[in-house]
Amino acid sequence: MGNTEAWPVLRTTDLAEALTLAERLLSVALWYKPSGCYLEAWASDDDELRRLTEASPEANVRWYGEGGVGFPAMLTWGVATPSQGSQALRTWADITTCYILWHDLEWPAVPELGLGEEYKYAELQVACNSHTIHCEKWAPEHTVFIHARPGHDERAAWLAAQVDGHVVGPSEEGW
């Protein structure tokens, strides 16, 4: 077991730009399973919860209030296709902080850096209205994160460079 490390490679107020970069990064992956993707969002009141569940009735709701009841509530939804995930994310981002995570993918080897293929720690995330992977605090920008093996700063920089990007801030511990 182990946790990923997550490097931010884009911060933007334009969600379409963030999703476009994510699609380009997915094209760098050796493979990914489109259904290996899910969304999570936090609802802090009845209105947010109603709007999220109306938009995505298939989402599962878990309560995190005192004694496991009440707000905040977390919604999780596994999506079948990238377009379904992108469409839902656009709706959810208008309501609250949320993210989309592709977790069933593989980063390619980078022989010039001495790095083999990476499956276990390979993930890609777009966090909406947040600067962190857990979306604890609202921010005006959306952040694209490359997740990889801890200590593989070079892999994150290399992956970002493949799509004309770069690491834009310090990494954080993933999951």
Residue 111: is its pLDDT beyond 90?
Answer: yes
What pTM was estimated for this model as a whole?
A: 0.96
Per-residue tokens: 3: 């946790």
Residues of the chain above pLDDT 70, percent: 99
Q: What mean pLDDT comes out for the span 113-120?
A: 96
| Rounded Cα distance, 132 and 6, in Å | 9
pLDDT digits (tens, 9 = 90+) for 35-67: 899 999 999 999 999 999 999 999 999 999 888
Confidence at residue 121, expressed as pLDDT on a 0 to 100 scale: 97
pLDDT digits (tens, 9 = 90+) for 152-167: 999 999 999 999 999 9
| Rounded Cα distance, 34 and 49, in Å | 26
| Rounded Cα distance, 130 and 140, in Å | 7
Q: How high does pLDDT run on average in the chain? A: 95
Confidence at residue 1, expressed as pLDDT on a 0 to 100 scale: 56
| Rounded Cα distance, 42 and 74, in Å | 5
pLDDT digits (tens, 9 = 90+) for 1-40: 579 999 999 999 999 999 999 999 999 999 988 889 999 9
